[in-house]
Amino acid sequence: MRPSQSFEIRAMEEADVPAVVELIGKTISPRDAEFARFIFTSYFQLGEKSPGRGEFYIATLGGRVVGVSGFYRLGNSYWLGWFAVSPECQGLGVGSTLLEKVEEAVRAKGARELFVYTSLLPKFKKTREFYKRKGFEEVSAVDHPRWEEDMVFLRKRL
């Protein structure tokens, strides 16, 4: 799909939560969508008091949410969070632009690295390839007992 108009990137707002949760459910998993609903609801309710307070951004096309990403801080590390792009908009630069926005924001906070984790399931092969094309390198693969699939952790030096 080639859009007749360009997409826009902006800060996520509380009113965007339902559309973002739906996007995560379709592109990642329904389980992740429910967890995202909890995280984003807490994020907006707690405001500046939110633990690991980060920032989240959405991409819109014609007023419809077609991408989401952001970051959170865990200790001294910055983590890419909830990265999803609608399948019909993949390959149009939405993901790259969202990632650039996140990298710009964490650099402004003094970060020298950005971390992300994702599944090793075949369904997420394109996701892992995207991260590697964007300069992320694998730092660890783990079998996490609380997750139903093996995960890979990646890092990008900024």
* Span 69-92, pLDDT tens digits: 999 988 889 999 889 999 999 999
In which band, very low, low, confident or very high, does the pLDDT at 94 lie, cut at 50, 70 and 90?
A: very high
Q: Class assignment of domain 8-111? A: alpha beta
Encoding tokens for residue 31?
């389980």
d(CA 7, CA 152): 30
Strands in 64-74's sheet, in edge-to-edge order, are: 8-11, 55-61, 64-74, 77-85, 113-119, 151-157, 137-142
> Domain residues of the chain, as ranges?
8-111
Residue 53 backbone dihedrals phi, psi, to 5 degrees: -40, 125
Residue 99's pLDDT is 97
The pLDDT of residue 146 is above 60: no
Residue 54's pLDDT is 85
Considering the chain, what is the average pLDDT of its residues?
89
Query: Percent of the chain beyond pLDDT 70?
Result: 88
Handedness of CA 130, 131, 135, 139 (dihedral sign): negative
Residue 82's pLDDT is 87
